[in-house]
Structure 1
């Protein structure tokens, strides 16, 4: 009992020093004991997609088209050896605020969710889940997630395993003004999941504008963040640059999946931990995938050092502010 208590104290002490969660600190102890001094190097082939995102949830034929397009790209990704395929926000449908507005389309007001063809959406999601099982392919894609009345739905990312099981769901937390005012219920927690020993985090919509979300995922010890958005002609370049920054400052991989029609200047792609694009889809507006091998790079000292730097190691070296001292004169 005493040994177990001492071990827990050690884990808590590391979490306090590094800023990690208790779970992340525990993972460190399990992976770096005397019989395993270095974390095991792991890798995975990741595919990112850009797809044609439709915005009218009343249009049954377009919903069917989206599902067919997704499943075609899933087959391409599996043929390319991918273990996980990442799709944009609202891959089956990302409802347009003016189409959904009960007082629209000229005036944007509360969304009328009876306009959504929910039965068709569920059928397309089920077909996608079944194909993930058939292909043995982890599949992450954006979808509206219906809640019981009178609650508004979530804007979500579904994570489907290679067994075709829905293993988790991420709900967008930092909603736009329109989304929070008229359309969706916000989520409340970060979500992580693991594939082949690599840990992934999820982000959605406009959340690349909020660096605290990505710092939090670093504390949760993720190896890659999957960010799905519909984007827009005006916003996509900024969102893409922000994802490069998050990957570089947190030293992890980042996958950026955007609607094909909004990716002409910033197509879907995967950013390496240094902030460079490791791979990108064609910037031509066509549905496509891009594939690259990602890893956990356990020998890279950058991430452990940044955690150490954030843990207060500079405090003992601080001196009185030079602006209050005459040691160096005025300049």
Structure 2
């Protein structure tokens, strides 16, 4: 295997997506994250991926507001995760909260390199109404290329909006990492059906590999999963308990999949339309 700090053009990437019961206890979240990072590294992962707000906890779900929030604890736990990423030489996508000098915090994903440095940050663009009480929306997308595979980052409610996925397609991404908190205190039969179906649709209509992570806390609507570019499930974790799901994304597999969309999806994303501008 290529060393995790080196650049490869193999177009293969072994990922681990990790689920655990995210809570308001930042120290407990940090302990979970580091334990699962070590397990992912032992199992050969080059990149490890976590849920929405995995380290910080999710405002409006685990705690009521950011008033008296222990930012110093979050800063310390973030440093410990970054140090471990460097020790393990492991790329890490960490869900957390980013504090701004002005305005509400951002619901964020940090892409941490095997040096321990955060090289990219994605801030959740589409906020649910309750999220707007606690967070500011993000304003830009985030992409990175690893082992010759260009990928993008998204968070939870973003999966409802096809426009943002098309933007990543226009940027020539082949892989999306989606971090979510798809759970509630009570069962939701509708979302238990709709959430996985929507993920499969987004993967297939854009010809993306999709690594979709979810918390295992409360009553999750689905377990974490890896979807192929045809929308089929490559592997999935059981909902409701901690797990490390390891899979090798191999772009060479794409040619073997049923794919009637192909390059047409990219042309449509760039504005091509088969219909006339006016009705007949």
- Deviation readout 1:179-237 (Å, 9 max, x if unpaired): 12x11111111111111211111111311111111111111111111111111142454
Aligned to 1:295, which of 250, 257, 264?
250
Aligned to 1:229, which of 180, 188, 191?
180
Give the TM-score normalised by the residue count of structure 2: 0.85
Query: In structure 1, what is the Cα distance between the partners aligned to 2:220 and 2:137?
Result: 29
Query: In structure 2, what is the Cα distance between the partners aligned to 1:275 and 1:82?
Result: 23
Secondary structure at the counterpart of residue 175 of structure 1: coil
Aligned to 2:138: 187
Give the superposition deviation at 1:307. 2.9
- Go from structure 1 to structure 2 and tell me whether the alpha carbon gap of 1:236 and 1:147 turns closer, same or farther (over 3 Å shift): farther
Aligned to 2:79: 126
What is the RMSD computed on CA atoms of the aligned residues? 2.4
Residues 122-201 of structure 1: pairs in structure 2 closer than 5 A: 122-149=75-102, 151-180=103-132, 182-201=133-152
Query: In structure 1, what is the Cα distance between the partners aligned to 2:114 and 2:194?
Result: 33
Mapped contact 1:270–1:279 kept (Cα < 8 A)? yes
The answer as to 2:235 corresponding to 1:272 is no
Mapped contact 2:203–2:227 kept (Cα < 8 A)? yes
Query: In structure 1, what is the Cα distance between the partners aligned to 2:247 and 2:62?
Result: 37
- Go from structure 1 to structure 2 and tell me whether the alpha carbon gap of 1:308 and 1:211 turns closer, same or farther (over 3 Å shift): closer
- The total of aligned residue pairs comes to 261
Larger Rg: 1
Query: In structure 2, what is the Cα distance between the partners aligned to 1:293 and 1:174?
Result: 29
Secondary structure at the counterpart of residue 177 of structure 1: coil
- Deviation readout 1:243-264 (Å, 9 max, x if unpaired): 1111111111011111112565
Aligned to 1:93: 56
Query: In structure 2, what is the Cα distance between the partners aligned to 1:175 and 1:299?
Result: 33
Give the TM-score normalised by the residue count of structure 1: 0.72
